[in-house]
Structure 1
Amino acid sequence: MSESPSNVLVVMRGCPGSGKSTLAQAIAANHPRSVVLSTDDYFVDPHTHEYDFDPSLLGQAHQWNQSRALDALQRQVPLVIIDNTHTQKWEARPYVQLALQFNYAVEIKEPQTEWWLRRDVDQMARKNSHGVSVEAIARMLERWESDFEIDAILKSRRPAPAPRPAQPRSGPSPGYTATVSVPKRLAAFSQPRRPKLPASSAVPV
């Protein structure tokens, strides 16, 4: 009979300003041997500690955070907390797969603040520390998935990107239209100010 996992990976969920990160830090404060890992950390300058989000680097940022999670699990850190929004199941799948691979129990946690429970986007926009707008938070809630069980997460897949509308081009062929292909997520960490990790530690999404 296999033993129950003694180590735990916590998958946080919640929009910016919901109280998600506050809850993550509170959980970690009660467990000295814990680590909180957020993709947002990738956009914090290590020297000035200023947050500078660049959406073109989001794919690299997620792989960087997944690699940090892999490192923590390999070191058997007893409590690993993934502090991302996780609006959809496929976003949590790499972390859940790693947790099961290293025999970690998985827990899903959301904040229980009154403004999050009533989905008050105005309050969340005022409270979040990164200046995320009401409109951006509303878009996150539009794609929010409630069926966030472990089995469903493992079966989830990243949705295909929506096709971009064709736009007419000026030139000798007035009827010609062009479509823009969406570039694949880069696996390399090209951001020089962030610590580089071995390529072998990257976790595919």
Structure 2
Amino acid sequence: MKQVFILRGLPGSGKSHYAESLSDEMVGGDESQFFICSTDDYFYNEEGEYHFQKFKLPQFHNLNLARFINALAEGIPLIILDNTNIRKWEFVAYSTAATAMGYQVKEVIVGEVKDKSLQHLYAKRNTHGVALKTISKMAYMFEW
């Protein structure tokens, strides 16, 4: 069965770790059997350093969606969308495309969105330097 997992959660909540663990559990880490799509990938330079540029976010989200659709077309058995997906419209195109291509789609919320103490933890441990204020704002905007 072909599956897509749409991960949702605040920065620092453990989405990327969850994606890696899920791929190990489901396909034994066989890279030909899974693909992880993350818009964050586009913010890394050639030296592997992360440089977020807000003005490039729409462009990079479009590139990530195209890469996701290509993975669907290739029939990769397990595809994981590793974005924050705070609002439902942010991932509806992914879900629609996956369903149209015969994939089972599962939405997974990683971490606790509304827990203020965990928001502090997420601010400390996220690898992209997202501030607590931004994380709290994202938690407030989160659509269930």
Q: Residues 114 and 139 of structure 2 are in contact (CA less than 8 Å); yes or no, is this contact kept in structure 1?
A: no
The runs of 5 or more residues in structure 2 that have no matched partner are none
The runs of 5 or more residues in structure 1 that have no matched partner are 1-5, 147-205
Whether 1:41 aligns to 2:36 is no
| 2:3 aligned partner, one-letter code | V
Which residue number corresponds to residue 138 of structure 1? 136
Give 1 or 2: higher helix fraction: 2
What is the alpha-carbon distance in structure 2 between the residues aligned to residue 121 and residue 15 of structure 1? 8
Q: Residues 35 and 80 of structure 1 are in contact (CA less than 8 Å); yes or no, is this contact kept in structure 2?
A: yes
Partner secondary structure for residue 77 of structure 1: coil
Q: Give the C-alpha shift of residue 25 in structure 1.
A: 1.0
Please tell me whether Structure 1 or Structure 2 has the larger radius of gyration of its CA atoms.
1
Alignment of 1:1-205 (within 5 A): 6-30=1-25, 31=27, 32=30, 33-45=33-45, 47-112=46-111, 118-119=115-116, 120-146=118-144
Measured against aligned partners, the alpha-carbon deviations of 1:123-154 in whole angstroms (never above 9, x if no partner) come to: 110010000000010110111011xxxxxxxx
TM-score (norm 1): 0.65
Q: Residues 123 and 135 of structure 2 are in contact (CA less than 8 Å); yes or no, is this contact kept in structure 1?
A: yes
Partner secondary structure for residue 23 of structure 1: helix
What is the alpha-carbon distance in structure 2 between the residues aligned to residue 20 and residue 72 of structure 1? 20
Q: Residues 116 and 124 of structure 1 are in contact (CA less than 8 Å); yes or no, is this contact kept in structure 2?
A: no
What is the number of residues matched between the two proteins? 138
Measured against aligned partners, the alpha-carbon deviations of 1:45-89 in whole angstroms (never above 9, x if no partner) come to: 1x2010011000000000000000011000000000000001111
- Indicate the percent of aligned positions where both proteins have the same amino acid: 33
What is the alpha-carbon distance in structure 2 between the residues aligned to residue 80 and residue 99 of structure 1? 9
What is the alpha-carbon distance in structure 2 between the residues aligned to residue 60 and residue 52 of structure 1? 15
What is the alpha-carbon distance in structure 1 between the residues aligned to residue 125 and residue 113 of structure 2? 11
Aligned CA RMSD, in angstroms, stands at 1.3
Q: Residues 38 and 64 of structure 2 are in contact (CA less than 8 Å); yes or no, is this contact kept in structure 1?
A: yes
Partner secondary structure for residue 129 of structure 2: coil
Which residue number corresponds to residue 155 of structure 1? none
What is the alpha-carbon distance in structure 2 between the residues aligned to residue 83 and residue 68 of structure 1? 13
What is the alpha-carbon distance in structure 1 between the residues aligned to residue 119 and residue 71 of structure 2? 34
What is the alpha-carbon distance in structure 1 between the residues aligned to residue 37 and residue 103 of structure 2? 16
- By relative contact order (CA 8 Å, sep 6+), the higher-ranking structure is 2
